[in-house]
Each structure stands twice: as C-alpha cells, then as structure tokens.
Amino acid sequence: MQDVRLLAAPLVPGSLIGSFTNANPGLGGVCTFVGEVRGEDNVEALELSHYEPLTLPSMEELADRAIVRFDLMGILIAHRIGMMYPGEPIVCVSAAAKHRRGAIDAVDFCMDCLKSAAWFWKRELRGGVWHWIEPRAEDYADLARWKK
C-alpha cells in the first residue's frame, strides 16, 4: 500500500499513521519518522516551495524504490509545502514490513533522500528576514551511505 502526499494544509501524523497501519494487515513492524519545525535559533516561520511537475512524481518514484529495496508491505510519504510555524510537522514517512530491519532502514533512506535529493526548497524567517536553507554536510554524508 503506497500513499504519497504533498500537503498545503497542516499535516496530522496521527491520523495518517493509524489508517496506514490498518491498511497493511499482517505486518511485523511499522517505523515512522515525523519531522517538525524547530523553534531554535529564533526561527519564526519556515516556507517550503516545490516545483509542481517534478516534486510529487519524484516522491512517488522514491516510494517505489523504497518498496523494492527494503521489501516493504507499504509506505507512506507525506510532505508539507507552504508556510509553517515552530512545532508544526513538515514531513511524515512511515514504512510497514514483515521485519523491523526493512521498516527502519526504509524510513532512514527516504528521509535522507527527502532532505537532500527531493525537489523542495526551504527558507526560514529569522528576525523578520528570510534565509534560504541548504542541506548540512551531515545530510549529504547521510545520503551518500545509500549509494551502491
């Protein structure tokens, strides 16, 4: 069961995960990651842009790759776009598999891809000024772990 969403309205992980888990009967484990806007460094708001013709199709392709690579029963990828405030969820990835290893690795993999290799552009509002954000060196290093 593959569920990929690009959301302009608030993301509510609890409601997505509950129905996702129920849609994958017989699973052994579900791993879920939820990323939220951190309020540190005086971040007042965060805005995510996307490019319509690429962003959702590439998320769907990522879901396909994860299912094959980690032998998943199902995957959920939900990503916000638009304006968000500290404490609001930005992204939710959930993977269901027979065994925990596949579920955990799939979430790890998808998050690394979404962070540094998906068609999103992020900026933060600090002190009334917008700053574009690029992935940290660690993010690129995390992504490189999956190259083979």
- C-alpha to C-alpha distance for 47 and 121, rounded to whole angstroms: 8
**48 belongs to the binding site for another protein (CB under 8 A):** yes
Closest CA to 69 of 115, 21, 110, 40: 110
Give, as ranges, the residues between 8 and 47 that touch another protein (CB under 8 A): 35
Q: Does 120 bind another protein (CB under 8 A)?
A: yes
d(CA 88, CA 15): 15
Dist. CA 117–CA 18, nearest whole Å: 28
User: Could you say whether residue 14 binds a second copy (CB under 8 A)?
Assistant: yes
54, interface contact from another protein, a second copy, none, CB < 5-8 Å by kind: another protein
Tell which one of 4, 11, 16, 30 touches a second copy (CB under 8 A): 30
Q: Which range in 57-65, 107-115, 117-125, 127-135 contacts a second copy by CB under 8 A?
A: 107-115
Locate 4 and state its tokens: 């990929």
Instruction: Work out the number of other CB atoms within 10 angstroms of the CB of residue 68.
Output: 8
16, 30, 31, 79: which one binds another protein (CB under 8 A): 79
